Amino acid sequence: MRNFLRRNGNASAENGADTTSSLIDLRAVKKAYDTPTGPFLALRGVDLQVDRGEFVAVIGKSGSGKSTLINMITGIDRPTSGEVAVAGTRLVGMSEGDLAAWRGRNVGVVFQFFQLLPTLTNLENVILPMDFCGLYSAGERRERALHLLDEVGIVEHARKLPSEISGGQQQRVAIARALATDPPIIVADEPTGNLDSKTAEAIFELFERLVDQGKTILIVTHDRDLARRVSRTIILADGDIVDEFLARIFPAMSEDLLVQATRQLATRRFEPGEVIIRAGEQPDTFYLITQGEVEVHIPTPGGDVVGTRLSAGQCFGEVELLRGGRNIASIVASYTGVDAATLDRATFEALIAASPNVQKELDRLAAERLAENIATRTKK
């Protein structure tokens, strides 16, 4: 399958060198689990790039592969094939020992069930990763742990055991522990899944604050309301990532349809000045811009007029496909060139037919576009 999450076209990292500019970079990652009935493909070739400072929610039905994906990023599990580079290090091929040491400094992991060591105090739980990584002096470790417990609002419970505090408080300790070595990335698999909604909100706000402080955070969540508040949402379905541009442009499309559409998308590159759609011709394709800009050229009696510009995340071609008839405007790649994801007419029509909500959204888009075109014509 293809999806269009690549922010930068760099080659994947080789032999651990920092040749990628994304903080998290997964290429064609497949993960098969052995089962009694044969291998089960939990990730089907995932491409994902996450940049520094992003706050990403990973959502999708139970069994869609969210935890599997997260475990690829933390190095807790290994892909069957594909490349994983995180914080400039290529994880594939590293020994368990090297992976653990690398994880200790680079990724703070937060679990649904906290997983604090029950015989250590909360303070000792937070000190542990610093001990493990040999970071800071003994005195500094203690001071830092107390500071972190203060930051997450539970320093008064520092000397208690995890069993002596509530679930929400334990999760705060777990977050302090994840921050102990000051890793650039925090990964959390359903961190609020075991908490009441008020406590979940408080924990989520803590994550928001960490993003403001410059951390890059990925959380798996089933909570759609929380997922709406992050800067980016990744939808997983049956081991595939749904195209993010499609998901954003069709928020009302069901997950199943989004997956189908993602699997049908093709990528195309248009050079600067290239005419992508010609006015007067028969439409046959739906385009979704993934990078660069296009100009809408509207024919008028006095010659073409350049109307709106459309950029990444916007679509074109849908007006003509929806309304029938010929192309009412030409679409030309601007000086940067354009990458677009495309759907052929038959797939586009099938998608629309399958979703009345999407039809409504597209009608609205089409009406907007027509109004712009008319405004441009009458200005002339």
Ligand X SMILES: Nc1ncnc2c1ncn2[C@@H]1O[C@H](COP(=O)(O)OP(=O)(O)OP(=O)(O)O)[C@@H](O)[C@H]1O
Given ligand X, Mg ion, none, residue 177, with its beta carbon under 5 to 8 Å by kind, binds none
Compute CA distances 284 → 86, 316, 338, 341, whole Å. 40, 12, 19, 14
**Which residues pair with residue 49 across a beta bridge?**
25
Q: How far is the CB of 66 from Mg ion (least distance, A)?
A: 5
Nearer to Mg ion, 46 or 298 (CB): 46
For ligand X, the closer of residues 223 and 318 by Cβ is 223
Minimum CB distance to Mg ion smaller for 67 or for 264: 67
Cα separation, 257 vs 350, in Å, equals: 10
Footprint of ligand X (CB under 6 A)? 33, 35, 40, 42, 60, 62-68
When CB distances are held under 5 to 8 angstroms depending on the partner's kind, the choice from Mg ion, ligand X, none that residue 42 binds is ligand X
Stretch that binds Mg ion, among 59-67, 178-186, 210-218, 263-271 (CB under 5 A): 59-67
Nearer to Mg ion, 66 or 297 (CB): 66
Instruction: Write down the H helix ranges in the chain.
Output: 66-74, 96-106, 122-133, 138-151, 167-179, 197-212, 224-227, 244-249, 255-264, 318-323, 345-354, 356-379
Q: How far is the CB of 191 from Mg ion (least distance, A)?
A: 12
Which CB, 167 or 193, lies closer to Mg ion?
193
SS3 content of the chain, % helix, strand, coil (to 5): 35, 30, 35
Q: Rounded to the nearest whole angstrom, what is the least distance from the CB of residue 222 to Mg ion in the complex?
A: 9
In the complex, the smallest distance separating the C-beta of residue 56 from ligand X, rounded to whole angstroms, is: 15
Q: What is the CB neighbour count within 10 angstroms for residue 233?
A: 18
Q: What is the length of the chain?
A: 380
Nearest to 69 by CA among 175, 185, 188, 183: 188
Candidates 48-56, 61-69, 297-305, 309-317; binding stretch for Mg ion (CB under 5 A): 61-69
Of 83 and 189, the one with the shorter C-beta distance to Mg ion is 189
Q: Is the dihedral of CA 210, 215, 220, 223 positive or negative?
A: positive
Give the angle 358-363-367 at the CA atoms, nearest 5°: 150
> Which residue, 43 or 329, is less far from Mg ion as judged by CB?
43
End-to-end Cα, the chain, rounded Å: 44
Stretch that binds Mg ion, among 29-37, 50-58, 60-68, 240-248 (CB under 5 A): 60-68
- Rounded to the nearest whole angstrom, what is the least distance from the CB of residue 238 to ligand X in the complex? 9
Tell me which of Mg ion, ligand X, none is bound by residue 62, counting a contact when its beta carbon lies within the kind-specific cut-off of 5 to 8 angstroms: ligand X
Phi/psi at 283 (5° precision): -75, 145
Q: By rule CB under 5 A, what string of x and - marks binding of each residue 62-81 to Mg ion?
A: ----xx--------------
Among ligand X, Mg ion, none, partner that 60 touches (CB below 5 to 8 angstroms by kind): ligand X
The 10 Å Cβ neighbour count of residue 334 is 18
CA dist 302 to 219, 309, 334, 377, 378, Å? 55, 20, 22, 10, 12
Least Cβ distance, residue 282 to Mg ion (angstroms): 47
Taking the complex as a whole, the smallest distance from the CB of residue 176 to ligand X amounts, in Å, to: 24
Closest contact distance (angstroms) between CB of 117 and ligand X is: 23
Residues in touch with Mg ion (CB under 5 A):
66-67
